[in-house]
Amino acid sequence: MDKRESRIIFMGTPEISAKVLEGIVSDGFNVVALIAQPDRPVGRKQILEPVPTKVVAEKYNIPVYQPVKIRKEYEFIKDLKPDVIVTLAYGQIVPQGLLDIPTYGAINLHGSLLPKYRGAAPIQYALINGDKVTGMTLMKMVKEMDAGEMYDKEEVVIEESDNMTSLFDKMGDAALRLILRALPKYLNHEYVGIPQDENLVSYCPTIKPEEEKLDLSQNKEKIIGYIRALSEVPGAYLYLDQQKVKIYKAQIVSDEVSGKIGEIIKADKNGFHLQLSNGVISLLEVQKEGKKKMDYKSFINGNQNLLGKIFE
């Protein structure tokens, strides 16, 4: 099937999805509709803004549909006569009735090397667990979450400097490379799906707001993982003098244990060090509640007598 003749419905909402949508449209694929989450208020002023994929779709005059509950509002898709549905980070569970509509079924770009990290936060959990490699998997969409057979993968190396923001950007690039390579093959029936090994399955649920507060009972490696996974947005945090302090960047210093858990054991021009259960980390970029984000030297200059205080 020629890509200019294929009738593709794209389902996706955030920035990573917008990058892929723009890429496949620019490459000449015939996207007949976008299905995205409803627009939501953004920022302190709660201004209603279009979701990122909608901005792209409107740029190319692609019809946009934003059902509040896709499981109850999908009959309109039959009229679009899709050959295939491509999804990436749509944000709702897609019902089986919808999956049965396209001539060639529905495929999903999932942000892990399946069967590892099925679920809502695979990119974040790769950082939390200190993985060195992750990637995108193109898979068949089935009723069970992320359980369909696999068609192709694209690996992504995770650098020590990566956080959620940078890794999402790299994963978006990987997703685009993968779908541009794979979609013509898929439409021409050149793939044989590979079942996932159920013995290797792991899950990664949504990170809840209460998990944004760092758990100081965890080891230094896991603490660093959460800081990376929550940066730049929404930002991991602790409390100091009953004020929220977000921590955007940190690194492991040593295995030394000389202070109490959560204690600031160094606060000068040479470092801002926090004692944890199995070692010390250096806080590099922080933000006090109501203040701007700053490097550790600026924070120390503006907050005297930090040595010996306890983060909670």
Q: Which residue has the tokens 């660093």?
A: 224
Q: Domain boundary at 204, 229, 256, which?
A: 204
Amino acid identity for residue 235 in this structure: G
- Residues 118, 237: one domain? no
- Residues 67, 131: one domain? yes
Q: What is the pLDDT of residue 3?
A: 79
CATH of the domain at 13: 3.40.50.170
Q: What is the pLDDT of residue 1?
A: 76
Give how many domains the chain has, as a whole number: 2
Q: Domain boundary at 204, 223, 244, which?
A: 204
- Residues 239, 160: one domain? no
Range of the domain at 287: 209-302
Q: Is the pTM of this model over 0.85?
A: yes
Do the domain assignments include residue 310?
Answer: no
**Separation between Cα atoms, residue 109 and residue 170, nearest integer Å:** 14
- Residues 160, 216: one domain? no
- Residues 174, 74: one domain? yes
pLDDT tens over the chain, length 312 residues: 777 889 999 999 999 999 999 999 999 999 999 999 999 887 777 888 999 999 999 999 999 999 999 999 999 999 999 999 999 999 999 999 999 999 999 999 999 999 999 999 999 999 999 999 999 999 999 989 999 999 999 999 999 999 999 999 999 999 999 999 999 999 999 999 999 999 999 999 999 999 999 999 999 999 999 999 999 999 999 999 999 999 999 999 999 999 999 999 999 999 999 999 999 999 999 999 999 999 999 999 999 899 999 999
**Separation between Cα atoms, residue 34 and residue 16, nearest integer Å:** 14
Q: What is the pLDDT of residues 68-116, one digit of tens each?
A: 999 999 999 999 999 999 999 999 999 999 999 999 999 999 999 999 9
Q: What is the pLDDT of residue 204?
A: 95
